[in-house]
């Protein structure tokens, strides 16, 4: 038997979440079985657990788009019992049983080896949010953005993606401006490396198609009016890596920044990013992310506390990252 969060759907299509004891025989029949030591609570997991968005493709579902653990058996030559692995995305926790459980059974090609520099807990305090932040940094670099380009804005700065993005950019020497709706967390953001705090209320209402040129680049996990205003406020030739929809999925902007200032809007997806890109992102996280920020930026919890935390996360009340120790 093993413990897992289990999502079911009622006849009225309401999602029910409960901590259950499941038989190991109920696990999906895939090549690699992993004992999960740590998982995380991401924005998408919170949507799945609360049923707020149709993230889950089939029920019953074990949520959890991330996990770290140890291989217990493998039918793949790429992994053997005892290997330490991590998983991010690939539809796990959406259409395939996920990481908010003590056991998981997954395809070998979805796994990557855990970088030796991180413990399983540290890897999950980065998780999909942090790995996506690194993909955003890499996307900006591919557009030629460097610390000399000028200040870089990070929106949703107190969230999982935002907080790691602030830390990564600051560690590389960027002047980071952090946009947040929680000014009381300004000191925390400055400790992560933010040079300036921007009140998110100046960005999250409808704005003009072209505004004062403020930032050389941006990482946006918020979408909607915020993303439109960010595009309108980028300097000539600037770029924004867009990965999220915490404010909304809409994009109520105009083409003006693209055709009059040569601004680039770069989409970033972590779920189906190719293996080589994932490995590169994790290698860079191991080399560049200051370890000291992980402790400060992480709340640790157990499987039984995840359900109420999911609601708090969607209310924007969780700072940074949540690590789930499956033994608690
Ligand atoms: P979090 O909930 O940890 O953080 C989101 C942050 O966004 C909040 O902390 C808050 O920051 C800000 N925010 C929330 N609501 C609003 C609002 N109405 N208006 C403006 N800002 C708001 O989530 P994550 O950081 O884990 O994820 C952020 C987004 O990125 C989500 O939409 C998620 O689905 C997406 N994502 C996408 C990935 C991809 O592959 N493309 C991968 C990972 C995440 P503050 O309090 O500082 O204002």
User: pLDDT, tens digit, for every residue of 159-181?
Assistant: 999 999 999 999 999 999 999 99
* pLDDT higher than 90, residue 328: no
Size of the chain in residues: 328
Q: CA-based Rg of the chain, rounded to a whole angstrom?
A: 20
Ligand 1 atom index nearest CA of 226: 20
Q: Given a cut of 90, is residue 211 above it in pLDDT?
A: yes
The residue among 146, 178, 161, 187 whose CA lies nearest residue 270 is 161
Closest-lying ligand 1 atom to the alpha carbon of residue 314: 2
Whole-number Å distance, alpha carbon 188 to ligand 1 midpoint, is 17
Pocket mutation for ligand 1, best pick of 156, 194, 250 (most atoms within 8 Å of C-beta): 156
State the pLDDT confidence band at 235, using cuts at 50, 70 and 90.
very high
Instruction: Please list the helix, strand and coil fractions of the chain in percent, rounded to the nearest 5, in that order.
Output: 35, 30, 35
For residue 285, report the distance from its CA to the centre of ligand 1, in Å.
Answer: 20
d(CA 312, CA 67): 21
Mean pLDDT of 244-255: 97
Mean pLDDT of all residues in 122-146: 98
What is the average pLDDT value for the chain, to the nearest integer? 97
Task: Read off the pLDDT of each residue in 203-215 and give the average, rounded to a whole number.
Answer: 98
Average pLDDT in the 114-133 region? 97
Mean pLDDT, range 202-227, rounded to an integer: 98
Pocket of ligand 1 (CB under 6 A): 42-44, 128-129, 132, 156-162, 180-182, 200, 204, 221-222, 226, 243-247, 268-271, 313, 316
Domains located in the chain, CATH noted: 2-114+297-325 (3.90.180.10), 128-267 (3.40.50.720)
Per-residue DSSP letter, 58: S
C-alpha 223 to ligand 1 mean position (Å): 9
The answer to whether the beta carbons of residues 97 and 26 sit under 8 Å apart is: no
Q: Measuring from atom 5 of ligand 1, which residue has the nearest CA?
A: 159
Put simply, whether the predicted model's pTM sits higher than 0.85 gets the answer: yes
Mutate to test the pocket of ligand 1, among 194, 207, 246 (most ligand atoms within 8 A of CB): 246
pLDDT class for 114, splitting at 50, 70, 90?
very high
Structure tokens at 309: 């935390």
H helix or E strand, kind and range, residue 306 = helix 306-314
User: What is the average pLDDT across 255-281?
Assistant: 97
pLDDT in tens, 272-312: 999 999 999 999 999 999 998 999 999 999 999 999 999 99
Q: Are the C-beta atoms of residues 107 and 79 closer than 8 Å to each other?
A: no
Average of per-residue pLDDT across 50-71: 97
Q: Which residues contact 92 (CB under 8 A, 6 or more apart)?
A: 64, 65, 67, 98, 99, 104, 106, 110
């Amino acid at each position: 038997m093993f413990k897992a969060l289990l999502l079911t759907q009622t006849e009225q299509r309401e999602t029910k979440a409960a901590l259950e004891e499941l038989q190991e025989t109920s696990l999906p029949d895939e090549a690699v079985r992993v004992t999960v030591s740590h998982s995380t609570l991401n924005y998408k997991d919170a949507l799945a657990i609360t049923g707020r968005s149709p993230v889950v493709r089939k029920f019953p579902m074990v949520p959890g788009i991330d996990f770290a653990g140890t291989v217990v058996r493998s039918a793949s030559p790429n992994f053997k019992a005892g290997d330490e692995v991590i998983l991010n995305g690939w539809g796990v926790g959406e259409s395939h049983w996920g990481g908010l459980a003590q056991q998981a059974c997954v395809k070998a090609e979805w796994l990557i080896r855990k970088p030796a520099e991180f413990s399983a807990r540290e890897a999950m305090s980065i998780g999909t949010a942090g790995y996506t932040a690194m993909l955003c940094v890499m996307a900006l670099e591919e557009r030629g953005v460097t610390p000399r380009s000028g200040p870089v804005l990070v929106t949703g700065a107190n969230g999982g993606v935002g907080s790691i993005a602030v830390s990564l950019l600051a560690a590389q020497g960027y002047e980071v401006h952090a946009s947040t709706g929680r000014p009381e967390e300004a000191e925390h953001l400055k400790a992560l490396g933010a040079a300036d705090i921007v009140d998110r209320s100046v960005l999250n209402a409808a704005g003009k198609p072209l505004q004062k040129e403020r930032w050389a680049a941006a990482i946006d996990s918020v979408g909607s009016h915020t993303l439109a205003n960010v595009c309108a406020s980028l300097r000539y030739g600037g770029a924004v890596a867009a990965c999220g929809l915490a404010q909304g999925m809409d994009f109520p902007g105009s083409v003006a920044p693209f055709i009059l200032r040569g601004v680039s809007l770069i989409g970033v997806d972590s779920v189906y990013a190719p293996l080589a890109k994932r490995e590169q992102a994790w290698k860079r996280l191991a080399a560049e992310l200051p370890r000291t920020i992980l402790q400060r930026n992480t709340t640790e919890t157990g499987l039984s506390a995840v359900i109420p935390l999911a609601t708090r996360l969607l209310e924007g009340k969780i700072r940074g990252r949540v690590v789930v120790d499956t033994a608690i």
